[in-house]
Amino acid sequence: MPLPTFAPAVENTPQGILLPDSSAFHPDQTLDCGQAFRWEKQPDGSYRGAAGKRYCEITQQGGFLLLGGITEEDFDGFWRGYFDLDRDYGAILESFRRDPLLARAVDFAPGIRVLRQDSWEALCSFIISQNNNIPRIKGIISRLCGGWGAELQNGWHAFPEAKTLAALTPADLAPLRAGFRARYLIDAAQKVASGEVVLEDLAVMPLEEARNSLRRITGVGVKVAECTLLYGCGRVECFPMDVWMKRAMETLFPNGLPACARPWAGIAQQFIFHYARHHIKPSAARD
DNA sequence: AACCAGGCGCATA
DNA sequence: TATGCGCATGGT
């Protein structure tokens, strides 16, 4: 089924790329909702961050969204896809709202967009995320980029190449303080660098085949594979189930995800995840 | 100061 | 197939 698309008007200005419609996405809701870990909010409310090998500054001004520090080529070649600006979220959210509870989750943070991240970065990020908390995940990823990623600008670094990490040992990664995940990162790097796992193919492979391919990597189980496919490979039908999503589904959708959400299950998941984190008790003592 | 974290690998039944 | 445990580290 072809997904609805739309093409937002974009203006190239000396400060950067201007999205005249700020409803393209909401920075707080999208950049700090647990899907990407390299965006930092500045005291003035803007965001600085990096994705893959590129740096960007995002400022909300009035009805506009400014993507600063990038060229038009960067925008067309990368950021447009990263923010998934050609997907018609209006139509998707309209479908979601047909379910009353899902409508509540959408209304809580209607500016959430699922980012289309680099597959290698997403894979590593969610390997690091396992049995971990978000502040520490961010710290580990920051040290990983600072230690082994090429320098970009403003002290920001690219995400390290797989072949760079493939040559390292767990002892080399000790400064990361990633614990038992260090050897998982190295195994992922080696399998990607050697071509045993071809990340570029995962976007088009039959889904079950893509899952199995990722799970050849030590430290990649059901959940990490699902996150990699959703956030890193554009597979919006994927539906990561972590502890929060399990609680949320038990509480909110005991009969399963509503049919109106299924074509974009992963996108619905992001709204539910964010809603749950702000509305459900975090402890194991969940009434 | 415990408890827990956007899980996974492994052993056991 | 289904549990249950240990795991490195540190945030709350």
Which single residue has its CA nearest the C1' atom of nucleotide C7?
A180
The protein residue nearest B8 (Cα–C1') is: A219
Cβ of A139 < 7 Å from strand C?
Answer: yes
Closest nucleotide over all strands to A132 (CA to C1'): B5
* Nearest protein residue by Cα to C1' of nucleotide C10: A136
Q: Establish whether the CB of A221 is closer than 7 Å to any nucleic acid atom in strand C.
A: no
pLDDT of residue A6: 53
Average pLDDT over residues A118-146: 98
Kindly report, residue by residue over A206-223, the tens digit of the pLDDT. 999 999 999 999 999 999
Gap between the Cα atoms of A145 and A90, Å rounded? 35
Q: Does the C-beta of A179 come within 7 A of strand C?
A: yes
In Å, what is the separation between the CA of A245 and the C1' of B13? Answer: 29
CA distances from A9 to A6, A57, A115, A265 (A): 10, 19, 19, 28
- Is pTM beyond 0.85? Reply is yes
Which tens digit of pLDDT belongs to each residue from A17-71? 999 887 899 999 999 999 999 999 999 999 999 999 999 999 998 889 999 999 9
